[in-house]
């Protein structure tokens, strides 16, 4: 019984850790304007997340091993078509009256957070199973976590949190930019 309680405590701490890294990934995408560069940033975040989850389970792993695990899960998400599926799910779940650029950034950012949650949940399973993906391998674990996160209640709760953490700040930032007076140099060019 004591071991079950310890395992449940570790899982709860690990899930909070995953949530933290999910929003870090989201922030990386928001502040990275160049396509492709955000992938490097989220991969680095996911590698750090792997190290943090391993520590929760009393394990030490190297950054090299953490990167390998993060890349393996990333390739699996892509190979199973779950990255594109996630963009579609998040995009349709977020119907906003934001300018086109902000909608794209919001969908990308929220999708990064959602995929990080799926990856993190997959890593929790991996570490709970003594660094073993199980009989179905990494694909089965990742697919199961994707399916669990797609459940209506889980997705709705995530989207509500994402609206507060990502969309509202993007809207506020956009509104502030719309209210700023033109810079002096631009005004002089317009008058010339």
Summarize pLDDT for 50-93 with one digit per residue, the tens.
999 999 999 999 999 999 999 999 999 989 999 888 888 888 87
Residue in 54, 29, 31 with CA at minimum distance from that of residue 43: 29
Contact 123, 53 (CB under 8 A): yes
Judged against a pLDDT cut of 60, whether residue 189 lies above it is answered with no
Contact 106, 96 (CB under 8 A): yes
Judged against a pLDDT cut of 70, whether residue 38 lies above it is answered with no
Q: What does the mean pLDDT of the chain come to?
A: 85
Residue in 32, 42, 152, 26 with CA at minimum distance from that of residue 89: 152
Structure token digits, residue 13 = 């701490």
pLDDT in tens, 89-106: 888 877 655 556 567 778
Judged against a pLDDT cut of 90, whether residue 177 lies above it is answered with no
Structure token digits, residue 47 = 């590698």
pLDDT: is 186 or 173 the higher one? 173
Q: What was the pLDDT predicted at 80?
A: 92
- Alpha-carbon distance 116 to 132, whole Å? 20
Q: What was the pLDDT predicted at 21?
A: 96
Q: What was the pLDDT predicted at 35?
A: 58
Judged against a pLDDT cut of 90, whether residue 147 lies above it is answered with yes
Cα–Cα–Cα angle for 28, 113, 128, rounded to 5 degrees: 120
Q: What was the pLDDT predicted at 140?
A: 97
Residue 35: CA atoms inside 13 Å, Cβ hemisphere, count?
2
Listed in sequence order, the residues at least 6 apart from 136 whose beta carbon sits closer than 8 Å to its beta carbon are none
Structure token digits, residue 23 = 């929003």
H or E stretch covering 151: none
Listed in sequence order, the residues at least 6 apart from 157 whose beta carbon sits closer than 8 Å to its beta carbon are none
Per-residue confidence at 188, pLDDT binned at 50, 70, 90? Answer: low
Question: What mean pLDDT do residues 171-181 have?
Answer: 69
- Alpha-carbon distance 133 to 131, whole Å? 7
Judged against a pLDDT cut of 80, whether residue 118 lies above it is answered with yes
**Sequence-separated contacts (24+) of 29-34 with Cβ below 8 Å:** 29/105, 29/108, 29/109, 29/112, 30/105, 30/109, 30/166, 30/170
Question: What mean pLDDT do residues 28-47 have?
Answer: 73
Q: What was the pLDDT predicted at 67?
A: 94
- Alpha-carbon distance 169 to 147, whole Å? 29
Residue in 81, 79, 162, 80 with CA at minimum distance from that of residue 117: 162
Per-residue confidence at 30, pLDDT binned at 50, 70, 90? Answer: confident
């Amino acid at each position: 019984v004591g071991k079950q309680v310890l395992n449940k405590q570790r899982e709860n701490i690990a899930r909070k850790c995953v949530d933290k890294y999910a929003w870090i990934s989201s922030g990386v995408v928001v502040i990275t304007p160049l396509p492709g560069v955000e992938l490097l940033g989220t991969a680095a975040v996911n590698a750090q997340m792997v190290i943090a989850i391993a520590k929760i389970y009393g394990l030490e792993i190297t950054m090299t091993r953490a990167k390998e695990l993060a890349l393996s899960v990333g390739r699996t998400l892509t190979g199973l078509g779950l990255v594109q599926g996630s963009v579609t799910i998040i995009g349709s779940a977020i119907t906003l009256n934001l300018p086109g650029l902000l909608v794209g950034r919001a969908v990308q950012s929220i999708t990064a957070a959602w995929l990080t949650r799926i990856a993190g949940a997959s890593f929790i399973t991996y570490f709970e199973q003594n660094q073993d993906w199980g009989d179905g391998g990494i694909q089965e674990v990742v697919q199961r976590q994707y399916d669990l996160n797609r459940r209506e209640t889980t997705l709705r709760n995530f989207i509500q949190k994402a609206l507060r953490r990502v969309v509202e700040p993007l809207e506020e930032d956009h509104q502030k930019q719309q209210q700023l007076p033109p810079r002096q140099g631009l005004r002089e060019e317009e008058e010339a």
